[in-house]
Amino acid sequence: MPETPHIVSDVMTRTVVAVGRDAPFKEIVQTLGQWRVSAMPVLEGEGRVVGVVSEADLLPKEELRDSEPDRFEQMRRLPDLAKARAVTAEELMSTPAVTVHTDATLAEAARVMAVRRVKRLPVVDAEGMLRGIVSRGDLLKVFLRADEDIEEEVRRTVVSCLFPGLGHAVHVRVDEGVVTLSGELHDTALIPVAARLARAVEGVVDVECHFRAPGHAGAESPS
């Protein structure tokens, strides 16, 4: 059975469109449009990521093209005014680039995207060299895992570890990514632990626990 993809390199896109520091404004616009992306890395040398240029970096040139902001507005929008005058990727890019390493977990990448409010991240190795790009959509690929794969992993990494010798008494069912754990259980203190571990399996949408004490066929323990 395939293992859960735990790191960014498992889901990232390896073919990445990028530009160099000296790329002119019009080339950047054309490249973004041709590849239908809203942002791309800026590289130097053999592929080290030094920044990211996005549609948001390009818009001030149009927004402020025929405006004459007063002194207060100029002070408030100095970065936008600088971008409005920019003509190369080096002048336009946001730097330092917000990146993620190839061996980062998917949860770590998701946190970076949320905190920095970006939709995609250049993926770099230990030397800062571009290796791919990961998007929000890439991180959601784990939810495409087959229910059978999730069930096998829950049995192997949760049930077998928490309930050794009791595998026959603990039942696992997965439907549309929702894991249901049920059966007879003496130690109810392990129920929250089982729910937490099952929820950590990538691709799991939710976890429900319906355990009962031996001899109490109608009693269920909530997750």
The model's pTM: 0.74
Strand 39-44 relative to strand 19-20: parallel, antiparallel, unpaired? parallel
What's the Cα-to-Cα distance from 85 to each of 23, 57, 88, 123, 157, rounded to whole Å? 15, 11, 10, 30, 56
Do 56 and 86 contact (CB within 8 A), yes or no?
no
Tell me what pLDDT residue 2 has: 45
Do 4 and 146 contact (CB within 8 A), yes or no?
no
**26-32 contacts: CB < 8 A, separation 24 or more?**
28/53, 28/58, 28/89, 28/92, 29/58, 32/58
Predicted confidence (pLDDT) per residue in 103-130, tens digit: 999 989 999 999 999 999 999 999 999 9
Overall average pLDDT of the 31-59 stretch: 95
Overall average pLDDT of the 184-205 stretch: 91
Predicted confidence (pLDDT) per residue in 123-165, tens digit: 999 999 999 999 999 999 889 999 999 999 999 999 998 888 7
Greater model confidence, 214 or 32: 32
